[in-house]
Copies of this chain bind each other. A is one copy, B any other.
Amino acid sequence: MSLDHILLGLLREPATGYDLGNAFSENVRHFWSAELSQIYPTLKRLEQRGMLSSRVEPSPKGPNRRVYTLTDEGRAELLGWLRGDPAVGTERFAYLAQLYFMDALGDIHQTRAFMTALRSHLTRWLAQLRAVEHDVVATHGGDPARYGDAGFHHFAALRMGIHSIGSKVAWCDETLAAIDRRLAPAHDAGAAARDEAWKEMEHLL
């Protein structure tokens, strides 16, 4: 049900489906994703339910645009959602599921490669978020307590991403270290190999 509410939240100003799609790729993408092909029918549904009204307008560039506006009913629905409990508990981590079952590959090196790939993905993501944070701090200053209302809330959401992804990178490092400790007895195998080599040399003496 959240996409509905996100669209309502985005529609403090009237906007088209296309505009909303852009809003997703700019800000909202940090905590939610949606394609235009999902946004258009959702807007239509919200209008049918009386949450939105729309009018068609000519566009300065390109085809006619359908501009949606929040109705009183829609605003009430949005506020109800915001006043409700935090919507927790539906998070799903596909990559954790992979890791959980990865012993089936019977090769810890594959797990290591997996964790390395994951770490590099997370690192890139974290860098993005930090860049956004840097921009915000550059324009609004270092103390979010002094930001405007919207800015404060947006910054808080951003900070969660930074905390959360940062902790996941730390977890990758911890896990990689454990894998390497696990792999360490391979040094013994290496040592055994050197012993072999030594024996071969020995009988030449």
List the interface of chain A (C-beta within 8 A of B): 2, 5-6, 9, 12, 27-28, 30-33, 78-79, 81-106, 108, 110-111, 114, 117-118, 121-122, 143-146, 149-150, 152-154, 156-157, 159-161, 163-164, 166-168, 170-171, 174-175, 178-179, 181-182, 184
Q: Are B88 and A157 in contact (CB under 8 A)?
A: no
Q: Are A143 and B106 in contact (CB under 8 A)?
A: no
Q: Are A178 and B97 in contact (CB under 8 A)?
A: no
Q: Are A106 and B149 in contact (CB under 8 A)?
A: yes
With CB as the reference atom, state the residue of chain B lying closest to A117: B86
Secondary structure dominating the interface of A: helix
The docked-state distance in angstroms from the alpha carbon of A163 to that of B85 is 24
A114 with B96, Cβ < 8 A, contacts A79-B105, A145-B181, A153-B101 known: no
The number of times this chain is found in the oligomer is: 2
The contact of A160 among B82, B168, B178, by CB within 8 Å, is B168
The contact of A153 among B82, B102, B122, by CB within 8 Å, is B102
A-B contact pairs, 29 of them (CB 8 A): A2-B94, A2-B97, A5-B97, A5-B98, A5-B101, A6-B97, A27-B100, A32-B93, A78-B104, A81-B98, A82-B105, A85-B117, A86-B98, A88-B118, A90-B92, A91-B91, A91-B92, A93-B160, A99-B156, A99-B160, A102-B153, A103-B149, A103-B153, A145-B184, A159-B174, A159-B175, A163-B171, A163-B174, A164-B167
